């Protein structure tokens, strides 16, 4: 590379000298041609020198920007926030078997319940009054039946009178059972352990 630059420099000087000679010999056209060639070779020499200088100097990469922060210890909870939906493995919609006026609500939305817990109770004041009357009649019929059996055993009363006493007792017992069943049907119980949903009463 250095030898080539030297040769170009010498040739440029020769063309410059030739241009001066032709100008002095009154040959301006030839002098202009040699002057142009000398200028071209001079520029080529300068560019070659610049390329050589660039090749000689090592190329360095620009510095890399690095950001830093102080290290500190933190708790990282193993929790992932997400959006989704859940469904119960076991569920049921419960209601009373009989109609009536709600007198008591014994649960809150989303609360917990155990199997058999009373959730809703309807007004049973009229049924309870009828039940108390039927229970009193049943106690009297039970006492009458016991006396009838004693008298029948001593042949004081007839078999028909004893049968009538037993029939009255059984009828009143059926009334008591019916009233008790009606009262129980006006309560809503939890069918199993679980979490309650949204009430609609």
CATH of the domain at 104: 2.40.50.100
Instruction: Say whether both 21 and 51 belong to one domain.
Output: yes
In a domain, 172, yes or no: yes
* 27: pLDDT strictly greater than 80: no
> Minimum mean pLDDT among 22-31, 41-50, 165-174, 179-188: which range?
22-31
Give me the domain span that covers residue 106: 98-123+186-201
pLDDT of amino acid 42: 63
Nearest to 199 by CA among 100, 101, 95: 95
Query: Is 155 a domain residue?
Result: yes
| Domain contains 118 | yes
Is residue 119 domain-resident? yes
Judge if 45 and 134 occupy the same domain.
no
**Which segment, 34-43, 69-78, 162-171, 190-199, is predicted with the most confidence on average?**
162-171
If asked whether residues 102 and 143 sit together in one domain, one would say: no
Token code pair at residue 122: 């309807």
Tell how strand 112-113 and strand 194-195 pair up. Answer: antiparallel
Q: Band of the pLDDT at 183, cuts 50, 70, 90?
A: confident
Shortest CA distance to 135 belongs to which of 95, 177, 181, 106? 177
Look up the CATH number of the domain holding residue 168: 1.10.287.470
165 occurs within a structural domain: yes
Q: Is residue 71 part of a domain?
A: no
Report CA-CA distances (Å) from 142 to 138, 169, 170, 178.
6, 6, 9, 18
Determine if the pTM surpasses 0.75.
Answer: no
The percentage of residues in the chain with a pLDDT greater than 70, rounded to a whole number, is 68
Q: Which residues contact 91 (CB under 8 A, 6 or more apart)?
A: 194, 197
> For the segment 94-111, what is each residue's pLDDT rounded down to a tens digit?
777 777 787 787 777 877
**Residue 43 and residue 16 in one domain:** yes
If asked whether residues 106 and 199 sit together in one domain, one would say yes
What is the count of structural domains for the chain? 3
Residue 145 lies in a domain: yes
Flag whether 76 is in a domain. Answer: no
Which residue did the predictor score with more confidence, 39 or 62? 62
Q: What is the pLDDT of residues 119-135, one digit of tens each?
A: 878 888 888 899 999 99
The span from the CA of 187 to the CA of 190, in Å, is: 10
Q: Are residues 102 and 22 in the same domain?
A: no
pLDDT of 9 over the 60 cut: no
Please give the Cα distance from 187 to 118 (Å, whole number): 7
Gap between the terminal Cα atoms of the chain:
101
Query: Does residue 137 share a domain with residue 48?
Result: no
32 pLDDT band (50/70/90 cuts)? low
């Amino acid at each position: 590379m250095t030898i080539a630059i030297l040769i170009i420099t010498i040739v440029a000087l020769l063309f410059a000298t030739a241009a001066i000679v032709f100008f002095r010999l009154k040959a301006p056209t030839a002098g202009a041609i040699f002057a142009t060639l000398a200028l071209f070779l001079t520029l080529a020499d300068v560019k070659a020198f610049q390329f050589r200088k660039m090749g000689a100097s090592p190329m360095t990469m620009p510095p890399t920007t690095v950001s830093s922060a102080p290290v500190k210890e933190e708790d990282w909870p193993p929790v992932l926030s997400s959006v989704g939906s859940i469904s119960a493995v076991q569920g049921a919609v419960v209601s009373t078997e009989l109609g009536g006026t709600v007198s008591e609500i014994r649960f809150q939305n989303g609360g917990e319940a155990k199997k058999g817990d009373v959730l809703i109770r309807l007004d049973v004041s009229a049924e309870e009054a009828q039940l108390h009357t039927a229970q009193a009649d049943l106690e009297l019929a039970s006492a009458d039946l016991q006396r009838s059996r004693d008298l029948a055993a001593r042949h004081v009363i007839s078999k028909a009178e004893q049968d009538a006493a037993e029939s009255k007792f059984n009828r009143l017992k059926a009334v008591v059972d019916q009233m008790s069943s009606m009262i129980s049907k006006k309560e809503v119980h939890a069918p199993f352990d679980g979490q309650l949903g949204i009430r609609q009463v």
